[in-house]
């Protein structure tokens, strides 16, 4: 076979010719090679040093400041969000100035609360703080101009607050506004066994349901919380037991309307309360939140028994809003003043020493002087020891905002008149006199000079 080349290699070393550099000569050549350095402008270097890429930010080590407005339901949501963030490693601080991120948990009931919320967002921007928004305002109207580009966590998504905060710290904008559902059925919200940081370590606020069955013409909260969705009794009882094990001595039940509890899942409020009473240890107490008149009427007998239980506070918050049936009709409150009186009279008779709290709206659209005087007479008659007086504010998107408004000066005067009436009476005079008499008898029967 003819050779492929003119010469045949006997060894691999034959590839290197005599003119090629020997291995020991390479080190001398390297000394004459100089790396070319690419110069970076000082502006680029400063920007890179001060603002590292978002992906290089380590979440879970920043300080978070949380501000909550509004009802006890909102406060419970705030406590849950604080607990989850702390469990992940974030430090919850009371000092807004030292915080890296502000979590603002809003209330949409009245204009002043939303104004405070809006101003806090502005202050956060001025202080160059990261911001996450929560609560009813962004849930009800997420497309408002002053919310553009900001992260939002919905009222039923609070169990994902760590995700939202983490992405916001990285420089991203996240919005979670969906509803919790199981097989297409709306749930009460996030799980109740999540970690929590209570503002008062001795009080556990439990939301038994979210939303309501009403469609009040003045209410903006309905736009955020939606229709009624109740938690199962077993989950609520388990949460109460867990809280007592953590050192809590009071359970406060809350929702947009506790009286409507269970109507969507085939149960009712008294059934829940009896189960909770069984779980309350000696020395602990249960306090029931707000209930509207229509849903408590059919349970008056059972409610009286429960409110007489030694481990249940003899307290009930029943908003009347107005003592004028025509105003209540315009509000779409679904009861009349006689219904409210029946509830109050029955409970005052069957539950000795009960405290009834109520709400009044002054200056609702169409309210006449005669309508307001009916409300004044109701307050004068019952002398409510706890009275929440609210000047009417038209909330955007509600039917009441489109009604003929009462002049601002008239609303203010009515609010002032009702406040003066409230401060004119002493609802606990009978108890004070009784205590003073008991003290006098004890001192006079004492063998001691004092």
157-201 pLDDT, tens per residue?
999 999 999 999 999 999 998 888 887 788 888 899 999 999 999
| Dihedral of alpha carbons 75, 145, 127, 57, sign | positive
Q: At what angle do helices 269-279 and 300-307 cross, to 10 degrees?
A: 20
For 370, the token pair is: 């005669």
Under 8 Å between Cβ of 347 and 354: yes
| Contacts (Cβ under 8 Å, ≥6 apart) of 313 | 285, 286, 287, 288, 307
Question: CB under 8 Å to 154, separation ≥6 — which residues?
Answer: 134, 138, 139, 176, 177, 178
pLDDT tens for the 450 residues of the chain, in order: 444 454 454 544 444 555 555 555 555 555 555 555 555 554 444 444 455 555 557 778 899 999 999 999 999 999 999 999 999 999 999 999 999 999 999 999 888 999 999 999 999 999 999 999 999 999 999 999 999 999 999 999 999 999 999 999 999 999 998 888 887 788 888 899 999 999 999 999 999 999 999 999 999 999 889 999 999 999 999 999 999 999 999 999 999 999 999 999 999 999 999 999 999 999 999 999 999 999 899 899 999 999 999 999 999 999 999 999 999 999 999 999 999 999 999 999 999 999 999 999 999 999 999 999 999 999 999 999 999 999 999 999 999 999 999 999 999 999 999 999 999 998 877 565 555 444 444 444 434 333
The two tokens of residue 430 are 């009978």
- What are the two backbone dihedrals, phi and then psi, of residue 357, each rounded to the nearest 5 degrees? -105, 150
| Contact indicator for 187, 200 with CB cutoff of 8 Å | no
105-160, pLDDT tens digit by residue? Answer: 999 988 899 999 999 999 999 999 999 999 999 999 999 999 999 999 999 999 99
pLDDT at 182: 82
Predicted local distance difference test score (pLDDT) of residue 122:
96
At residue 420's C-alpha, the angle toward residues 417 and 426, to 5°, is 140
**Pick from 87, 139, 91: nearest CA to 117:** 139
Q: Which helix (H) or strand (E) covers residue 438, if one does?
A: helix 429-444
Q: Which ranges in 194-324 belong to alpha helices (H)? A: 221-225, 233-245, 269-279, 293-296, 300-307
The label of the residue with tokens 């037991």 reads 241
Q: Of 262, 263, 316, 261, give the one whose Cα is nearest residue 286.
A: 316
Domains and CATH numbers, the chain: 63-176 (3.40.50.12160), 200-356+367-382 (3.80.30.20)
> 3-state class of 335 per DSSP?
coil
Token pair belonging to 211: 């939303």
Contacts with 342 (C-beta within 8 Å, 6 or more apart), sequence order? 297
Distance CA 327, CA 342 (A): 19
The model carries a pTM of: 0.80
pLDDT for the residue 19:
56
At residue 185, the pLDDT reads 80
Tokens 């030292």 correspond to 98
- CA dihedral 406→410→416→419, nearest 10 degrees, is -40
What pLDDT is attached to residue 344?
97
pLDDT score recorded for residue 445: 42
Task: Indicate if the alpha-carbon torsion angle 115, 254, 336, 381 is positive or negative.
Answer: negative
* 17-38: burial string, b at 16+ Cβ within 10 Å, e else: eeeeeeeeeeeeeeeeeeeeee
Average pLDDT, the chain: 87
Residue with tokens 């806090």: 120
- Token pair, residue 100, equals 């890296």
CA distances 39 to 47, 49, 52, Å, are: 15, 16, 20
Collect all residues with Cβ–Cβ distance below 8 Å to 376 and sequence separation of at least 6. Answer: 417, 418, 421
State whether residue 66 is helix, strand or coil.
strand
pLDDT at residue number 450: 32
């Amino acid at each position: 076979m003819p050779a492929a080349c003119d010469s045949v290699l006997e060894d691999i070393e034959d590839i290197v010719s005599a003119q090629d550099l020997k291995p020991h000569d390479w080190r001398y050549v390297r000394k004459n090679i100089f790396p070319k350095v690419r110069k970076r402008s000082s502006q680029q270097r400063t920007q890179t040093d001060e603002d590292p890429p978002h992906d290089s930010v380590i979440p879970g080590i920043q300080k978070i400041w949380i501000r909550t407005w509004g009802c006890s339901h909102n406060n419970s949501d705030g406590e849950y969000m604080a607990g989850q963030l702390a469990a992940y490693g974030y430090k919850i601080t009371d000092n807004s100035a030292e915080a890296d991120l502000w979590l603002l948990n809003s209330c949409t009931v009245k204009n002043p609360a939303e104004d405070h919320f809006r101003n806090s967002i502005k202050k956060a921007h001025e202080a160059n703080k990261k911001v996450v928004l929560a609560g009813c305002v962004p849930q009800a109207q997420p497309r408002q101009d002053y919310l553009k580009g900001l992260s939002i966590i919905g009222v039923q998504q609070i169990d994902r607050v760590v995700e939202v905060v983490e992405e916001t710290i990285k420089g991203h904008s996240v919005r979670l506004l969906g509803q919790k559902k199981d097989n297409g059925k709306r749930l009460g919200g996030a799980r109740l066994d999540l970690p929590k940081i209570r503002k008062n370590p001795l009080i556990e606020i439990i939301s038994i349901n979210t939303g309501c069955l009403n469609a009040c013409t003045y209410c903006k909260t309905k736009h955020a919380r939606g229709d009624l969705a109740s938690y199962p009794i077993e989950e609520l009882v388990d949460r109460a037991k867990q809280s007592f094990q953590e050192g809590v001595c009071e359970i406060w039940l809350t929702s947009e309307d506790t009286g409507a509890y269970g109507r969507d899942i085939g149960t009712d409020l008294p059934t829940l309360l009896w189960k909770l009473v069984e779980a309350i240890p000696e020395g602990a107490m249960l306090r029931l939140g707000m209930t509207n008149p229509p849903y408590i009427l059919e349970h008056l007998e059972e409610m009286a028994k429960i409110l007489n239980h030694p481990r249940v506070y003899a307290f009930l918050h029943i908003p009347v809003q107005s003592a004028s049936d025509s105003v209540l009709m315009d509000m779409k409150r679904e009861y009349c003043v006689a219904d409210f009186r029946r509830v109050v009279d029955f409970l005052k008779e069957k539950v000795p020493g009960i405290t009834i709290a109520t709400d009044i709206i002054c200056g609702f659209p169409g309210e006449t002087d005669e309508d307001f005087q009916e409300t004044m007479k109701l307050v004068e008659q019952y002398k409510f020891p706890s009275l929440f007086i609210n000047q009417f504010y038209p909330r955007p998107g509600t039917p009441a905002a489109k009604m003929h408004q009462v002049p601002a000066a008239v609303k203010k005067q009515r609010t002032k008149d009702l406040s003066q009436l409230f401060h004119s009476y002493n609802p606990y005079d009978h108890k004070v006199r009784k205590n003073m008499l008991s003290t006098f008898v004890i001192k006079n029967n004492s063998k001691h000079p004092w």
